[in-house]
Amino acid sequence: MMLHYILMALSALLSISVVYLAIVERDLIKAAIFSAVQSALYAFLYYLLMAPDIFLTYIPVGVGLYTALILILIKKTERYEGE
């Protein structure tokens, strides 16, 4: 039981730092990949919080489909964020 809470704390802290990197990053493709890493960590959190149904939705939507959609959008517009 204690291991659950330690893993939860670790993945929550990691996801916070990844969120910070995703916001600050100028290269939007890197930002999209940071966002995908954050989604994976959040999915892991949902699994540890005993919500496996949300976990199974979060993995394909948050990591696969959403990231692909953002990458398609970046390809059609600009890769680097201006000042």
Where does this chain bind another protein (CB under 8 A)? 5, 8-9, 12-13, 16, 19-20, 23-24, 52-53, 55-57, 59-61, 64-65, 68-69, 72, 76
What's the CA gap between 38 and 62, in Å, rounded? 9
Instruction: Write down the least CB distance from residue 25 to another protein, Å.
Output: 11
DSSP 31-72: HHHHHHHHHHHHHHHHHHTT-HHHHHHHIIIIIIIHHHHHHH
Q: Report, in Å, the least distance between residue 68 CB and another protein.
A: 5
Nearest distance, CB of residue 44 and another protein, angstroms = 14
